[in-house]
Amino acid sequence: MKINASNFSRNRKRLSLTQLRVNKILTCVINSYEKIISDGVVYNYSEKGSIKEEDYLRNRLVDDYLEYELNNIEDNTNRFAVNKEVGEEYIGLTDNKPHNDPIDIHIMDYALKDAWGQKTKPYFAIECKRLVTSVSSYVNDTEKATKRKYRKLRLPFEGQLGFIENNKWSSNIVAELINKNLISNSNIKTTRNLEKYILKKDFDGSYFSEHEKVNDTSFSVFHLFFDYSDIVVK
């Protein structure tokens, strides 16, 4: 079987550009967290009303910091559109039926239209979880990704964000716990366990892993772990 060299080269360039853009997005998320720290912000769950704790933390991150960070890096060109709880339709790879997926943080990158096609709407998804006593629900988000094929152009990189509320856990400990879970999890085919992935100097809570969907398609996950043990008041 012949390989079209020009198509191969084009795909490599497209993926390389996409990863650079995803790195920019993730750096903005890190910048947002660091500004929360420098601003001395404290989130009191008694003030969240009927909003779920996880959603409350995500809302504050996105609405109060991330939107500004994304617009700022592109000199206010509005290349990014960030939203919360955006429903995207997917086909279940185990039942072949359509489903709706409410995405925690949905970031559309208009700058990638040239790479993926002008009629596309490339978006990057970040799922958020609180990490208090277990990493099971966090790993469950990875498992969900192995069983879904999205109708719209979801970038071939997944994002997962963990709010660490356990003051005995560091990002290293969380990564070790997740890797132990992945090793024993027969529902997830992991080809590369969580490894350090440096996105920004002096920030050590970023990791990278690789997995396969049930249809043998490979995908990557960028992980961010933020220490919220001194930010959250229960």
Tens place of pLDDT per residue across the chain (234 aa): 333 333 434 566 777 778 888 999 999 999 999 999 999 999 999 999 999 999 999 999 999 999 999 988 766 556 888 999 999 999 999 999 999 999 999 998 887 877 777 667 788 999 999 999 999 999 999 999 999 998 887 887 899 999 999 999 999 999 999 999 999 999 999 999 999 999 999 999 999 999 999 999 999 999 999 999 999 998
The total domain count for the chain is 1
Predicted pLDDT at 9 = 46
Q: Which amino acid is at 106?
A: H
Whole-model pTM: value is 0.91
Q: Where are the beta strands (DSSP E) in the chain?
A: 43-44, 80-92, 98-109, 123-131, 148-150, 157-164, 189-196, 206-212, 218-227, 232-233
Residues in the chain: 234
Q: Which amino acid is at 25?
A: I
Enclosing domain of residue 84: 5-233
Predicted pLDDT at 234 = 86
Pairing relation of β-strands 157-164 and 218-227? parallel
* Cβ(224)–Cβ(161) below 8 Å: yes
Alpha helices per DSSP H over 74-230 = 113-116, 136-145, 171-184
Predicted pLDDT at 14 = 72
* CA torsion through residues 126, 57, 98, 213, sign: positive
Measured CA to CA, the distance from residue 1 to residue 103 in angstroms comes to: 39
